[in-house]
Structure 1
Amino acid sequence: MALYSYRKQSRRRLRKVIRTVSFVFILSGLGILLWVLSPIIFFELVYAPRFTGLLRPIPETIIEDTLASTLPIILPSERIDYTKARVWFPKATNISLPQTPTVYTLSIPKVDIFDASVTVGGDDLMKSLIHFAGPLPGQNGNPVILGHSTLLWFYNPRDYKSIFSKLPSLKIGDTIQARVDSITYTFKVYEMSIVYPDDLSVLRQQNDNSYITLVTCVPPGTYLKRLVVRGRLEKI
């Protein structure tokens, strides 16, 4: 009788341990899912509505689309490496770039970015921001600068893998500074919009003034859309 009781208690303890471990795994999974999705949902609820009415604003259904496709997009892709600038606008042709200098710096005080390196015609977004198209800042036209973003939990303004993650927090009137050949040019943000990845209007050149355009992926941690921040040169 004692042996039977011992086996029965052992089975009960085993079932209890299994239930406890299962519960812990479920909570861990939900925690990871919440940790990944919360900054994306926050972006859609807080930042995205500010851009409504601008260039091809993000649709109201984006939250549903994001929840349905976030995980495979967040996980590293073997097909498309978005740390390479050349894959951002594969359909773009006749890209015009300045010959010199090949590097200058960019500062955005609002998001604690100071003297970030910008490589003209570069490709590796893990090592610097990339001047993808247009003339140098300060010249008439529209220099287009690409920068990587990731989940806000990983944001570091000195890390090029996450440097543009807080661009959505910029507002009209905030400043962007570019230092080229020892001259600092200050631009004021006048337009912010969210566009689809195949929208080549981002590369549009306007020669009536000196502009600057910053581009990154949104929501942070995904490649679903592009945030476009445009600035106009202030008088020196």
Structure 2
Amino acid sequence: MNKTRKILGVMLLLTGLILVSIPLYYEWQHGREVRALEEALSLISDYEQVEGTSFTTDELNAVLELEIPSIELKQKVLSETTEENLKLALTQLKENQHPGEGNFAIAGHRGYRGNRHFSRLPDVTIGDEVFLHTKEETFVYKVTDISIIEPTDVDVLDDRDGKHEITMITCTRSGKQRVAVRGELVETNGQKV
């Protein structure tokens, strides 16, 4: 009986170590991929594809940066929403969208550790500033609406007549609904809109 308890104890201990190490491995892997992306962004040259990443130079040139000071968020925004891109960064939801025009939509995973992706997006409050940086310009938005929506409520992404907005979307903690944060464009490169 004592030997059986020891074997069971060792098996439970090993199982626990494996379960703890899996998320740590994924975190390490994610960190490697993000560092490769950041290195590629800093080394953009005339090469068709930057070594160590699956991104072409054109794709890297299209990367934006989203900054929300109130939640200490500063994340890259990739131009296409794919499962691979969502693992690395935030992504643009609509094709051929341009900052400062219509409703610029960004999606991101909620993240389960630290300040990755949109883990703290639900902490944003009405009136917070959101900065969307391109290589040449900075677009400043003020948060005007925060809502919990169903995954099927895609009309939140639609352009509204005469409005220049940003909409940021992530999952709720349960994953069953979405947090949608909308802001209106108030400034471009220091010029009030």
Same fold, judged at TM 0.5 (above):
yes
Q: 1:229 aligns with which of 176, 181, 190?
A: 181
Any runs of at least 4 consecutive aligned residues in structure 1 with deviations exceeding 6 A, and if so which? none
CA distance in 1, matches of 2:68, 2:107: 14
Q: 1:178 aligns with which of 123, 127, 132?
A: 132
Which structure has the bigger radius of gyration?
1
Secondary structure at the counterpart of residue 122 of structure 2: helix
Is 1:155 equivalent to 2:111 in the alignment?
A: no
Q: 2:169 aligns with which of 202, 209, 215?
A: 215
CA distance in 1, matches of 2:111, 2:89: 15
Aligned residue type for 1:178: L
2:156 is matched with 202
Contact 1:142–1:207, Cα closer than 8 Å, also in 2 = no
Is 1:164 equivalent to 2:118 in the alignment?
A: yes
CA distance in 1, matches of 2:120, 2:91: 17
1:137 is matched with 99
Deviation at 1:170, TM superposition (A): 0.7
TM-score between the two structures when normalised by the length of structure 2:
0.62
Relative contact order (C-alpha < 8 Å, sep 6+): which is higher? 1
Deviation at 1:176, TM superposition (A): 0.7
Q: 1:121 aligns with which of 67, 70, 80?
A: 80
CA distance in 2, matches of 1:185, 1:203: 18
1:104 is matched with 64
Deviation at 1:181, TM superposition (A): 3.4
In the TM superposition, what whole-angstrom CA distance separates every residue of 1:187-226 from its partner, at most 9, and x where no partner exists? 00000001111111122111412100000000x2x42110
Deviation at 1:102, TM superposition (A): 2.5
Secondary structure at the counterpart of residue 168 of structure 1: helix
Aligned residue type for 1:229: V
Aligned residue type for 2:184: R
CA distance in 1, matches of 2:109, 2:98: 20
Secondary structure at the counterpart of residue 107 of structure 1: strand
Aligned residue type for 2:186: E
Deviation at 1:105, TM superposition (A): 1.1
Secondary structure at the counterpart of residue 187 of structure 1: strand
Q: How many pairs align?
A: 142
* Correspondence list, 1:18-97, <5 A: none
Structure number with higher strand proportion? 2
Aligned residue type for 2:157: L
Secondary structure at the counterpart of residue 87 of structure 2: coil
CA distance in 2, matches of 1:129, 1:155: 15
TM-score between the two structures when normalised by the length of structure 1:
0.52
**What is the aligned-residue identity percentage?**
31
